């Protein structure tokens, strides 16, 4: 995903819907609210987080390790170390294993869900980022943001079995559960569609007027893809035709999105400190709602059993003075303030 501080120069909040959206009324109660804040502590940046709904564990990327929380107690259940430049985590309960992308070492760490111990380390392309398991093909797809490719792992053997040339820098990907994989390309402003088994690229769909797409949410039942973009737009596409059916305003600094089937809504996590809830009243009608979160909370995970949302962030300190070597310095992160926000309906 994008730099965890890339949103900091952005300001404001997009709340007014465009012509093809219906804005939420001011009197309508927020559909999600903050339930709990859990301080994890430690130092360093973060990226993706992921839920294991069976074991009720939350996996948090954090600097060079993955923090694991018990969602029943909100206590730390363990740490998976030696994950340099960690970005994505994909727990797969039916296999008893999980997969972690390490952007600095260009590897994937395979680990045991029970012991949290590493069982294998596999090579990837340059700067592996997002990762997910596709049950239809029994494969793990690793999206190499710096290598314009996807590394394909056979989850039965934990062997690399192929590479997909994507023609751009991939961000988040999703599956339709029927053999097709969709992935955002942030530098070409496209969604690429490829076959999960043959790995052949089938389609390239523009997300214009969206720019720099990152998170990707999917309503499988109604064939709607929500590609969330850095220019404050979510582009809604028909997953069968690639046609853009709506563009919806969202908050700034977005990096993640999920679709909650129970709420019939796509939710975007915006680094400016908001959630944008895109209510899908029908496959052609959408209305937006803006909910306060916290500055820096730009990634999001959904627990499909409780329908709770989880975001991670920290507090920020002073920004160093610009130098020749670092003309645009990032604000410092206050040690010990890394935390998880939990939202529910």
Question: How big is the chain, counted in residues?
Answer: 345
The residue-averaged pLDDT of 324-332 equals 85
- String of b and e for 160-188 (b: at least 16 CB within 10 Å)? beebbebebbbbbbbbbeeebbbbbbbeb
User: How many angstroms separate the Cα of 140 from the Cα of each of 208, 288, 291?
Assistant: 29, 33, 33
Res. 314: pLDDT tops 70: yes
Lowest mean pLDDT among 79-93, 293-307, 314-328: 314-328
Nearest alpha-carbon partner for 305 in 119, 74, 123, 57: 57
d(CA 323, CA 9): 18
40-54, 101-115, 215-229, 310-324: which has the minimum mean pLDDT? 310-324
Q: How much is the average pLDDT of 204-217?
A: 98
Give first-to-last CA distance, the chain, whole Å.
Answer: 27
Q: Give the per-residue pLDDT at 21.
A: 39
Residue 320: per-residue pLDDT: 85
Angstrom distance (rounded) from CA 118 to CA 113: 10
State the Cα–Cα distance between residues 48 and 215, nearest whole angstrom.
11
**Per-residue pLDDT averaged across 306-314, rounded?**
97
Tens digit of each residue's pLDDT (9 = 90 or more) over 3-46 = 444 444 333 333 333 333 344 433 344 589 999 999 999 999 99
**Average pLDDT estimate for 97-101:** 98
For residue 205, the number of C-alpha atoms closer than 13 Å in the C-beta half-sphere is 26
pLDDT tens-digit readout, 110-165: 999 999 999 999 999 999 999 999 999 999 999 999 999 999 999 999 999 999 99
Residue 330, number of CB atoms within 10 A of its CB: 15
Instruction: Give the mean pLDDT of the chain.
Output: 92
pLDDT, average across residues 241-266: 97
Choice among 11-20, 125-134, 305-314, 334-343 with the minimum mean pLDDT: 11-20
Segment 54-95, tens digit of pLDDT: 999 999 999 999 999 999 999 999 999 999 999 999 999 999
> Cα 72 to chain center, whole Å?
23
Distance CA 130, CA 141 (A): 8
Q: What is the pLDDT of residue 2?
A: 60
Q: State the average pLDDT over residues 311-336.
A: 89
Residues 6+ apart with CB under 8 A from 137: 179, 196, 197
CA 10 to each of CA 40, 68, 254: distance values in angstroms, whole numbers, following the listed order: 26, 31, 11
Counting residues of the chain whose pLDDT is more than 90, the rounded percentage is 86
> At 173, phi and psi to the nearest 5?
-130, 160
DSSP result, 303-344? -TTT--EEEEE--B-PPPPP-SS-SSPPPPBPTT--EEEEEE
Quote the CA–CA distance of 149 and 143 in Å, as a whole number. Answer: 6
């Amino acid at each position: 995903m994008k730099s965890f501080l890339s949103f900091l120069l952005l300001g404001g909040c997009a709340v007014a819907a465009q012509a093809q959206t219906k804005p939420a009324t001011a009197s309508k109660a927020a559909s999600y609210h903050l339930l709990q804040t859990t301080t994890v502590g430690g130092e360093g940046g973060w990226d993706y987080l992921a839920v294991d709904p069976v074991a009720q564990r939350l996996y948090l990327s954090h600097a060079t390790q993955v923090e694991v929380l018990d969602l029943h107690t909100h206590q730390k259940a363990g740490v998976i170390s030696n994950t340099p430049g960690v970005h994505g985590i994909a727990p797969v309960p039916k296999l008893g294993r999980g997969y972690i992308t390490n952007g600095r070492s260009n590897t994937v760490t395979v680990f045991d869900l029970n012991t949290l111990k590493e069982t294998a380390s596999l090579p990837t392309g340059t700067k592996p980022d997002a990762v997910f398991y596709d049950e239809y093909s029994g494969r793990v797809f690793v999206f190499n943001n710096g290598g314009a490719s996807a590394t394909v792992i056979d989850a039965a053997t934990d062997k690399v079995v192929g590479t997909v040339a994507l023609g751009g820098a991939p961000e988040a990907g999703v599956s339709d559960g029927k053999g097709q994989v969709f992935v955002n390309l942030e530098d070409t402003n496209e969604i690429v569609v490829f076959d999960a088994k043959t790995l052949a690229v089938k389609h390239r769909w523009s997300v214009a007027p969206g720019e720099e797409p990152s998170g990707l949410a999917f309503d499988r039942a109604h064939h709607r893809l929500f590609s969330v973009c850095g220019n404050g737009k979510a582009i809604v596409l028909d997953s069968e035709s690639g046609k853009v059916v709506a563009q919806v305003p969202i908050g700034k600094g977005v990096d993640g999105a999920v679709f909650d089937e129970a709420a019939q809504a796509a939710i975007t996590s915006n680094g400016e400190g908001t959630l944008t809830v895109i209510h899908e009243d029908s496959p052609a009608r959408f209305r937006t709602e803006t909910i306060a979160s916290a500055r820096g909370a730009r990634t999001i995970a959904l627990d499909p059993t409780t329908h709770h949302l989880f975001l991670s962030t920290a507090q920020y300190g002073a920004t160093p003075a610009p130098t020749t070597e670092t003309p645009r310095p990032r604000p410092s992160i206050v040690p010990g303030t890394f935390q998880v926000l939990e939202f529910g309906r």
